[in-house]
Chain A
Amino acid sequence: MAQIFHESFNSLAKVSIAVAAVLGGGVVAIAWQANNSNWATDVDVPKEQPVQFSHDHHVQGLGIDCRYCHTSVEDAASAGIPSTKTCMSCHSQIWTNAEMLKVVRDSYAKDQSIPWVRLHDLPEFVYFNHSVHVKKGVGCESCHGRVDQMPLMWKENTLNMGWCLDCHRNPEDVLRPKEDIFAMGYDPVAKYGKTQSELGHELAVANHVKTLTNCSTCHR
């Protein structure tokens, strides 16, 4: 009986398997990459806002403290998005007729919210509390990056669970002394002559910082 398959089919079969594996793996890898890409996570993507508010200008240029606007960051779960009234506390005096601030003035006059675009959005089953992180020595910069260098705000970190756990497992990597929580461009070596690791360990002991990795720390 004649052979149905030519001998070369052996090689062809092996090659097809290899190609299928590579293609399949490639699809998975691409999907994985896509899911972790900035396109999916919005990391490093500045977003257009109803008012082109510049943290760069207000923080670095004018030296306004984070807490002037984000008032509840030390007291509550939410850092607080400033009300239009907060903007108007200065802008009723300066740049009162600027075209750029028309949205702000209208909001104040009509008592209607400015619809800011949200950058940092945790899933609904995650409960994050700003006040405790600030209290225990996590600086704004550790999560939000160099806000003072962002003309338009972007998201610095993915905020996914693995990223949270990095610090929750090793909090000494980010802890700062209280006076440096709101500082930008903080450098422990330059300021205190200690590495982050040394200083972080000291602060963890002093402030009773624990590695909190049980589920109900964040999920409930």
Chain B
Amino acid sequence: MNDQTTDAPMRTELSGKTGKDYWKSLEEYSGTERFKEWLQREHPQAADLLAIAPDRRSVLQLMGASLALAGFNACTKQPEERIYAYAKNPEAMTPGTPLYFATAMPWAGGAIGVLVENHMGRPTKIEGNEAHPASLGSTDSFAQASVLDLYDPDRATSVKRRGRVSTWDDFFGELRPAVTIASSKQGEGVRVLTRGVVSPSVGAQLSALVAAHPKLQVHVWEPIHRDNARAGSMLAFGRDLAVHAHHGKAKVLVSLDGDFLVAGPESVRAAREFAAGRKVRKDKTDMNRLYAVESCTTATGATADHRLAMRAVDVEGFVRRLALRLGVAVQVPQGALDERSQRFLEALAKDLEANKGAALLLPGPWQGPVVHALAHAIHDKLGCIGQTVEMLPPFESFGAEVDNATSIKSLCDDMRAGKVQALVVLGGNPLYDAPADCDFAGALAKVPLRAHLTTHENETSRQCDWLLPEHHYLEAWGDASASDGTVSIVQPLIAPLYNSKGAHDILATMLDKAGQTAYDAVREHWKAKRPDDFEAQWRRWLHDGVVPGTRAKAVAVAAKAIVEPASAAQKGLEVQLRPDPTVWDGRFANNGWQQELPKPISKLTWDNTVQLAPATAKALGVATGDLVEVSIGGRKVVGPAWIAPGHAADSLTIHLGYGRVHAGKVGDGVGFDAYPLRTTAMQWGATGATLAKAGGSMELASTQEHDDYDAFTTEATKRNIVRVRTIDRFKAEPGSLEPGQGHAAHHGPTDIFEKPRTAEMAALKAKKEATGAPLQAYDSRVSEDYQWGMVIDLNACTGCSACITACVAENNIAVVGKEQVMRGREMHWLRIDRYFKGDENDPEMHHQPIPCMQCENAPCEVVCPVGATSHGPEGLNEMTYNRCVGTRYCSNNCPYKVRRFNFLLYSDWATESLKMQRNPDVSVRSRGVMEKCTYCVQRISHARHAAKREDRKIREGEVVTACQQACPTEAIAFGNILDKASRVSLLKAEPHNYGLLEELNTKPRTTFLAKVQNRNPELDGRA
């Protein structure tokens, strides 16, 4: 159903209605007739295939014609192909065998270390680098998607001067005199604008530039910056120190309106450490407890054991009270908290006090300095500094002390005042993402020489004289430091596709070192720092992906008293601006993978919305999809509303990064731009907003009800698809279900081999009982060496969706676009179902990744008329595209709805640059065929071939599926279930392991570990 919650009657139905325990959407929650009718169709999303109903005759004509023509497909003579062997073969390269290289992806003011799969000189897939502290072997979805940006056909390809193709020499010819003339005036009038600088060598160049020209100014603008955290540190410690949290050591974690598990370059490590302290096994039942106090619904909040929704502006008051309760002297706002928040605070405070040295408070970057400062003070008070948090010096290589907002404001003021003669913008897109009150566009027009180094021609470069194509990080030499200071050398995986250069080249020219390459600049920088045996070290750094000994040293500090006065409680509607979970600040707007990735909670694709709570929507008379005008301080934007269960009341959340005008073919005109609301004074949110209906509504493409397979269940026949237990109940009685709960508990799955009906089945049973291999009804050839299986730990899943993007990249999965997503035709082989439980205004949220279950008794196989899907001897439910004729019977018969049909020619077969991204080990599917998760059969084959060559069996851990590889929390285990010592076997032996719809006797190979919550008994039930 694409137009959620559009009918007014339903709003009234929703009030006071309590439906099932678990629900996915408000329609389901309220159980409207329309929703039931939608479900009654066997394949809801496929029901409206044809816009016009054809008559019988034309159907017959079309069928006859297709049948007659189909045969001709096979009658082609292969066209002659050429083989272009190397003239001089490069070292270590075997055609068809990928190589892996370590590098680092600088982004969002940090960096994540990655290993890049390289096929014959083409980087195709990003994997995590175990040696890198911000990766630990995993990645987020952004890193996975970054490889698509490299091959984006919309990239800037050549130097342009006012829209006309020019050359680098022409540009340098214009830049050099500008700097030279200025140098007589100590660089006055020359400005450089950069994003957050994480490259030590670029930082050194910038410092040298400023040293050479004292009046040349370098400005920094990173839209999602850490200004508040820095200011908070200044308040608490009198100096800028960055928190380096040890989530694994913490027993009690508090997310203060942040999203530490998913957002930002440090989230992968945070999620890994957090989940490690949370995985429950039969012999390990201690787990951490996460509280979340937040305004909008985040993946972190969904993972929390206790979640308190409150407006973002009220969080500071909450934290002040919490601090005071814990003995930190601080002024608290007047008045009292409401009863529920007070109870939450009291329980939280007791829990924190009981866990001295093991507590961790994590404020969102958008929360004010006082919240950050108080978190430091509480850490200090509870003895957590040195335990769960380390205070590290800032890692930025240049301008760590620069306040982003002040910096860009002063630049714009100077430009307007005519003080700037030449502006060089290194990366970024300030015209789009600078604070609205700066009027960057207006100010920029006053600058005589303006140049923009950028990977894509965007809003900013269109207003600059010079468009300078920038290297993608996979094409460039460089270096980058992670938030803990650890430096990685960035090495190119491919020669630049276009005539591009990097920041190093521009700065070298400005430093009068024209011709110095990035490679030279980076090496020169590091050779000066590490002169001993540099060449050997350099090779080691490139190989490992990290430069040892660069991690920052912790600083011992004590928090000062926080004397900032408390402001009075602010009434009214607030609006909050947040980076988007899939396109971030807008830099991934032209990335189809990220646009089509369902956002963790809303499951929305291809749009941003004005999110608000069901109660607020009711009060304002707004339904999902209604176009609303949000205004604050005289600035306004118009966008569609989205009713978000669990959102704080009287609060609106808008994600940034959408509404790009010049992003490219994919990102142009997608969503609406929220930056016009953002000013230097109000960067993240404020109260005093108003919301008015703007008239009309629009359809939004949310996948939340697609592939619904459990919605008919009632209390009586409940299938317990997502299973959640509390740790106390689990300790008393381990298992995935509460005692006596559910269908399976009553009857248990039926085993068709228990009483064999035929002699063949009896013989099969006897034979297989001897070997221990699993029985499969449809295939008697069963491998006694390997049987593949998967376990997904729901307790570790944060819903971050890195697995989905990894699957897309690995398996050549096509992007279908908004209109097709609205028809339910997204091609993702792996989806993450999100369930709500309980009241619509304060629900629990649960994530459940659903790949193919690889059933041992697969219902899809028996209905295929052409044998295109069949059972492999190792338990894989195989899909053979070249046999598929597209009847879609298999998908109809799949109880889990994990099969995906290529309705149209979704894969781009025409764009040359995109072909380079594809994984050559996986077929690119055409239209008319079914596809689905294969357990990454190409990786199994790869490992099998290696094992056979070496006369051994495939080792445990040798086959890692793409989703498993990317998962930051190691929630996915994959392996041979015949090996009783394998990780997957051990997990399947856990008491809380369960299969979906087991009572159907499909015998799914993918099973789940039930989610276990660590509730605070003080908070009666859920708070």
Contacts and interface: CB of A to CB of B under 8 A. Distances in A.
Interface string A113-127: 111111001011101
Interface residues of A, number: 44
Given A124-B923, A129-B945, A216-B937, A108 B96 contact: no
Contacts, number: 125
A220 B85 contact: no
B88 A85 contact: yes
A76 interface: yes
B882 A125 contact: yes
A41 B872 CA distance: 30
A81 to B, nearest CB: 4
A114 B89 CA distance: 13
A214 interface: yes
A97 to B, nearest CB: 19
Nearest to B811: A220
B872 A113 contact: no
A76 B94 contact: yes
A111 interface: yes
Interface in B852-886: 870-873, 876, 878, 880-883
A127 B88 contact: no
A215 B870 contact: yes
Contacts of A135: 948-949
A2 B94 CA distance: 85
B56 interface: no
Contacts of B878: 214-216, 219
A72 B92 CA distance: 11
A72 B96 CA distance: 10
B948 A136 contact: yes
B95 A78 contact: yes
Given A108-B88, A121-B81, A219-B881, A78 B94 contact: yes
A128 B878 CA distance: 17
Given A118-B82, A219-B880, A111 B921 contact: no
Interface string A139-182: 00000000000000000000000000000000000000000000
Contacts of A83: 85-89
B923 A219 contact: yes
Contacts of A124: 923-924
A129 to B, nearest CB: 5
A40 B87 contact: no
Nearest to B83: A116
A112 B87 contact: yes
A107 B87 contact: yes
A80 interface: yes
A72 B80 contact: no
Interface string B999-1012: 00000000000000
B96 A125 contact: no
B921 A220 contact: yes
Contact of B83 (A74, A110, A118): A118
> For this complex, into which size category does the number of interface residues on chain B fall?
35 or more
A42 B83 CA distance: 17
Nearest to A80: B95
Contacts of B883: 215
A35 B75 contact: yes
A144 to B, nearest CB: 15
A80 B873 CA distance: 31
B882 A219 contact: yes
Contacts of B945: 77, 129, 131-132
Nearest to A81: B85
Interface in B168-214: none
B87 A81 contact: no
Contacts of A131: 945, 949
Given A115-B82, A125-B881, A85 B89 contact: yes
A76 B948 CA distance: 12
A115 B88 contact: no
A53 to B, nearest CB: 12
A125 B924 CA distance: 8
Contacts of B938: 127, 220
B556 interface: no
A84 B77 contact: no
Given A76-B95, A85-B89, A132-B949, A117 B882 contact: no
A198 interface: no
B860 to A, nearest CB: 14
A110 B86 CA distance: 12
A154 to B, nearest CB: 14
A116 B82 contact: yes
B934 interface: yes
A39 B75 CA distance: 12
A220 B877 CA distance: 12
A147 B528 CA distance: 58
Contacts of B924: 124
A124 B924 CA distance: 9
A125 B923 contact: yes
B12 interface: no
Contacts of B949: 74-75, 131-132, 135
B74 interface: yes
A208 B46 CA distance: 47
Contacts of B948: 132, 135-136
Contacts of B872: 214-216
Contact of B941 (A76, A118, A220): A220
Contacts of A23: none
Contacts of B87: 83-85, 107-108, 110-114
B882 A220 contact: no
A135 B75 CA distance: 35
Nearest to A115: B82
B881 A114 contact: no
A115 B84 contact: yes
Interface in B644-668: none
Contact of B81 (A74, A77, A80, A118): A118
B85 A214 contact: no
A111 to B, nearest CB: 5
A82 interface: yes
A17 interface: no
B88 A123 contact: no
Contact of B77 (A40, A72, A113, A123): A40
Shortest Cβ-Cβ A-B pairs, 8 listed: A113-B84, A83-B89, A81-B85, A83-B86, A78-B96, A215-B880, A118-B81, A84-B87
Interface of B: 74-75, 77-78, 80-89, 94-97, 781, 870-873, 876, 878, 880-883, 921-924, 934, 937-938, 941, 945, 948-949
30 contacts: A31-B75, A35-B75, A42-B78, A72-B95, A72-B96, A72-B97, A76-B96, A78-B95, A78-B97, A80-B95, A81-B85, A81-B95, A85-B86, A85-B88, A108-B88, A112-B87, A114-B84, A115-B82, A115-B83, A116-B84, A118-B81, A118-B83, A121-B78, A123-B882, A125-B881, A132-B949, A135-B948, A214-B878, A219-B878, A220-B941
